[in-house]
Amino acid sequence: MSRKIAILPGDGIGLEIIAEAEKMLQCLQHDFGLDVETETAAIGGAGFDQFGHPLPESTLALCRQSDAILFGSIGGPQYDSLDRELRPERGLLGLRSSLELFSNLRPAMLYPQLASASSLKPEIVSGLDIMIVRELTGGIYFGQPRGIRDLENGERQGFNTLVYAEHEIERIARSAFDIAMLRNRKLCSVDKANVLEVSELWREVVTAVGRDYADVELSHMYVDNAAMQLVRAPKQFDVMVTGNMFGDILSDTAAMLTGSIGMLPSASLDKNGKGMYEPIHGSAPDIAGKSIANPLATLLSVAMMLRYSLAQPELANMIDTAVGNVLNQGFRTADIAAGGNAVSTVEMGDAVVAALRAQI
Ligand code: IPM
Ligand code: MG
């Protein structure tokens, strides 16, 4: 039965990198018999421009009907002065929360070919393979109350609320333990339990869930230490699980260990495995429209989509192999070229498609 993919290019380099993903999907349909139907819709700034809202009703409806969502990136300086509710980020956050995509998987894997692109010494990062599991629909990103209020003394006060209910902690913990079972069976839960009550509960619930996973070695780490350990000795980690904001920050750090944020895909899953797939880099307005963006994070996101939502692990592996092969062949976009010759976004996409076809 044909499966449906909603494609949301968004803003900035989202358009260019998604075009490469569409090219690769067409190759998978024509040459590898992948049975999918795709439909494109507007999100973020593009949603605002076309429909006056960063998450148009029609886009949300399409996403609800689809088996998987492929997302580019959102945001741009032209939208910065809009009301908070109309800013592009609201489109992404609204989609995550409306579809209950609570489990965000952000793998940080170093391709050996790119060891010299990392800002850390090769011996610190070679062989790096971490999976960050970030809670995506709760915590301080969504906690109420929130806002900016007037105080009696005439000044304003900004406030947000960091809350986690037990069931929210439990389900993300299970998600992380399940992933750890498929990997090296080491899970590090990251919190700030020395200061925050919400982290105290987080630690308690994660520990309790851990009793169902006797084969997984569970450890706990404060977030400040985790940030330091990620740049000091990142290979000590296998799977990390953490809340929404800590995960946002640590996943950018982990991304940079791999040489470029342009290499990292992600999956955001609901409890049934339906998911949204996106590169973790943003819309990069400074390089948009120049065809220099790295499409590999997006192509690797398609691989995650095939693996987690479309039950096509062989095709997913073939994409991973194709990406490894184009790196072996020396193809580099500017972000990973380390000053050497760089190919364009389109040339990189073409190279991956050719490397896929070579596997037929
Ligand atoms: C991410 C991004 C988003 C986030 C922004 C664009 C709202 O930084 O996916 O990591 O903070 O979650
Ligand atoms: Mg982020």
pLDDT score of 259 more than 90: no
Q: Where are the domains of the chain?
A: 1-102+261-360, 129-256
Backbone φ, ψ for residue 163 (5° rounding): -130, 140
- Banded pLDDT at 49 (limits 50, 70, 90): very high
CA atoms of 278 and 276, how far apart (whole Å): 7
Q: How far is residue 55 CA from its own chain's centroid? A: 19
Q: Which of 8, 89, 268, when mutated, tests ligand 1's pocket best, judged by the most ligand atoms within 8 Å of its CB?
A: 89
- Banded pLDDT at 117 (limits 50, 70, 90): confident
- Banded pLDDT at 169 (limits 50, 70, 90): very high
Residue 248 known to be catalytic: yes
Residue 224 known to be catalytic: yes
Q: Which residues pair with 277 in a beta bridge?
A: 70, 267
| pLDDT score, position 108 | 95
pLDDT score of 57 more than 80: yes
Domain 1-102+261-360 is found in CATH 3.40.50.720? no
pLDDT score of 1 more than 80: no
As given in the structure block, the two tokens for residue 120 are: 């850390």
| Binding site membership of 248 for ligand 1 (Cβ less than 6 Å) | yes
Identical fold for domains 1-102+261-360 and 129-256, yes or no, is: yes
pLDDT score of 116 more than 90: no
pTM value surpassing 0.75: yes
pLDDT score of 339 more than 90: no
- Is 291:346 a contact under the CB 8 Å cutoff? yes
Q: Which of 87, 93, 281, when mutated, tests ligand 1's pocket best, judged by the most ligand atoms within 8 Å of its CB?
A: 93
What rounded mean pLDDT belongs to the chain? 96
Q: Give the number of whichever ligand sits closest to the CA of residue 92.
A: 1
The secondary structure element, H or E, covering residue 206 is helix 197-210
CA atoms of 82 and 94, how far apart (whole Å): 16
The secondary structure element, H or E, covering residue 207 is helix 197-210
Lowest mean pLDDT across 94-98, 114-118, 135-139: 114-118
pLDDT score of 274 more than 90: yes
Domain 129-256 is found in CATH 3.40.718.10? yes
> What percentage of the chain carries pLDDT values higher than 70?
100
The angle formed by the CA atoms of residues 59, 62 and 63, to the nearest 5 degrees, is 85
Q: Annotated catalytic residue: which of 111, 129, 235, 252?
A: 252
Q: How far is residue 303 CA from its own chain's centroid? A: 13
CA atoms of 10 and 55, how far apart (whole Å): 10
| pLDDT score, position 17 | 98
As given in the structure block, the two tokens for residue 307 are: 């693996």
